[in-house]
Amino acid sequence: MLKLKLNDIQRAAERLRGAVLETPCVESLTLSRITGAQVFLKFENLQFTASFKERGAFNKLAQLSAQERARGVVAMSAGNHAQGVAYHAERLGLRAVIVMPRFTPGVKVERTRGFGAEVVLHGDTLAEARQHAYALAEQQGLVFVHPYDDVQIAAGQGTLALEMLAAQPDLEQLVVAVGGGGLIAGVATAAKGLKPGIEVIGVQAQRFAAMVNAVRHEDLPMGSSTIAEGIAVTQPGEITTQIVRRLVDDLLLVDEGDIEQAVLMLLEIEKTLVEGAGAAALAALLRHPQRFAGKKVGLVLSGGNIDPMLLASIIERGMVRSGRLTRLKVNARDVPGVLARITATVAAAGANIAEVHHQRAFTLLAAQSVEIELVLQTRNQDHAQEVMAALQAQDMQVSAV
């Protein structure tokens, strides 16, 4: 089996110069204060296709022989790898065929086509799409570009670690999201080659702990979905798993709530948009703060391709958790002016009404009573309690929903 070495990554960095963005790696003072670690963020979501996947794709394509270039390439992906391969194939003048599962959102399909790739929608699962990509490679003589289990791909991904340590040589820990393992294999090889004492820590979604299972010989169950779909891999690579076993110091799990919170914090605090997988590293600091306390920690924000509807849901759910969106049920006598009295009380308490639902028929209250459900914009949970107390002072029965 081919081995990945530091000089492979250093040569990849020379190839990538001018082809991909050398993204910033800067300290976040606010996140450092919140987490108890000194946090440095690597903004890979600023790449042209909004993901680190460009690095590996370009490194692979740039090393094809003249004969392989003439044949063209095929890749299977429902997201970032597809766009990275399509974009750089177009720049290099190569034919690119991208196989995507039929469930791939239309916006991702059209964006991949926009880079000049031939998109083939096939299969209801990633496994079916992958098998079709292999079949096309054989039938048409195309070069298959694997999303992670390839030394040249991993070498390209590892170039971001060279940049991180050049910008922040005192980093003590690197925290990286793990799906198939291409990114962390490259990062661990580069980081340990330059600084043997540095810790490299991988992060997986609780619902897709495939690398944890492979490395620790566990049998954690696989889920059906996660908001970190970029790392929702059920079978990590063989090459990458060997590297993880040898070089990665720890693997941590995070749940869906941790990832949602991290996406929202990065949006609010850093004004940067990340997808679920891109927020996994920060989610690990929020979930396991003692593991990183007092350390200089580099987090890779690996991608920023998130569905707008999913983002809207994450924002709304985050506002509920923090008490900035509160739902109350108010029971009162059904007399003229009662709704005006409720709204006046809420306004006087400094809250804003986002929604109101006036219910008479579908309630177990007495016929002379009315049930009013309010969705309020409040400052925090303490403020929500103040609003409830103000309504109760008006002889109304109030409960949080």
Q: For the residues 307-314, what does the mean pLDDT come to?
A: 92
Residue 166 shares a structural domain with residue 296? yes
pLDDT tens digits for range 204-228: 999 999 999 999 999 999 988 899 9
Domain count, the chain: 3
CB-based contact 23:139 (threshold 8 Å):
no
350 within a domain of the structure (yes/no):
yes
Looking at residue 301, its pLDDT comes to 98
Residue 258 shares a structural domain with residue 166? yes
Q: For the residues 321-328, what does the mean pLDDT come to?
A: 93
Residue 377 shares a structural domain with residue 306? no
- Interhelix angle 280-287/256-269, rounded to 10 degrees, is 110
CB-based contact 162:92 (threshold 8 Å):
no
Residue 199 shares a structural domain with residue 289? yes
Per the listing, tokens 């891109």 go with 278
61 within a domain of the structure (yes/no):
no
Residue 351 shares a structural domain with residue 221? no
Least confident of 40-44, 124-128, 228-232: 124-128
Exposed/middle/buried for residue 10 (C-beta within 10 Å: 0-12, 13-18, 19+): middle
Residue 176 shares a structural domain with residue 259? yes
196 within a domain of the structure (yes/no):
yes
User: Which residue would you say has higher pLDDT here, 164 or 229?
Assistant: 164
CB-based contact 281:177 (threshold 8 Å):
yes
pLDDT tens digits for range 21-30: 999 999 999 9
195 within a domain of the structure (yes/no):
yes
Looking at residue 367, its pLDDT comes to 58
d(CA 399, CA 401): 6
Please say which residue of 268, 292, 317 terminates a domain: 317
Residue 313 shares a structural domain with residue 363? no
pLDDT tens digits for range 73-117: 999 987 899 999 999 999 999 999 999 988 877 778 888 999 889
Residue 329 shares a structural domain with residue 374? yes
Per the listing, tokens 């590996």 go with 56
pLDDT beyond 90 at 127: no
67 within a domain of the structure (yes/no):
no
Contacts of 45 (CB under 8 A, 6+ apart): 51, 272, 273, 274, 275, 278, 301, 302, 303, 304
What does residue 150 show for φ and ψ, rounded to 5 degrees? -155, 130
d(CA 157, CA 203): 16
d(CA 200, CA 316): 33
- The mean predicted confidence, pLDDT, of the chain is 93
pLDDT tens digits for range 331-361: 888 888 888 999 999 999 999 999 998 776 6
Residue 283 shares a structural domain with residue 341? no
Q: For the residues 270-295, what does the mean pLDDT come to?
A: 97
d(CA 248, CA 202): 7
pLDDT tens digits for range 237-270: 999 999 999 999 999 999 999 999 999 999 999 9
pLDDT tens digits for range 168-210: 999 999 999 999 999 999 999 999 999 999 999 999 999 999 9
Q: For the residues 295-303, what does the mean pLDDT come to?
A: 98
146 within a domain of the structure (yes/no):
no
Residue 170 shares a structural domain with residue 258? yes
pLDDT tens digits for range 7-22: 999 999 999 999 999 9
pLDDT beyond 80 at 2: no
For residue 279, give Cα distances in angstroms to 173, 174, 206, 263.
17, 14, 14, 5
pLDDT beyond 70 at 364: no
What does residue 357 show for φ and ψ, rounded to 5 degrees? -130, 115
Residue-number span of the structural domain to which 332 is assigned: 323-400
Per the listing, tokens 């002889």 go with 395
| CATH number of the CATH domain containing 112 | 3.40.50.1100
d(CA 154, CA 159): 9
147 within a domain of the structure (yes/no):
no
Indicate the pLDDT class of residue 124, thresholds 50, 70 and 90. confident
Residue 302 shares a structural domain with residue 201? yes
Q: What amino acid positions are annotated as catalytic residues?
A: 53, 302
Please say which residue of 141, 163, 194 terminates a domain: 141
d(CA 12, CA 14): 5
For residue 220, give Cα distances in angstroms to 125, 127, 209, 210, 215.
21, 20, 7, 8, 12
What does residue 10 show for φ and ψ, rounded to 5 degrees? -65, -40
266 within a domain of the structure (yes/no):
yes
pLDDT beyond 90 at 4: yes
Exposed/middle/buried for residue 400 (C-beta within 10 Å: 0-12, 13-18, 19+): exposed
Looking at residue 109, its pLDDT comes to 86
Residue 177 shares a structural domain with residue 302? yes
CB-based contact 289:30 (threshold 8 Å):
no
Annotate 136-156 with b (16+ C-beta within 10 A) or e (fewer). bbeeeebbebbbbbbbbbbbb
Looking at residue 360, its pLDDT comes to 64
pLDDT above 90 covers a percentage of the chain that reads 82
Please say which residue of 255, 283, 317 terminates a domain: 317
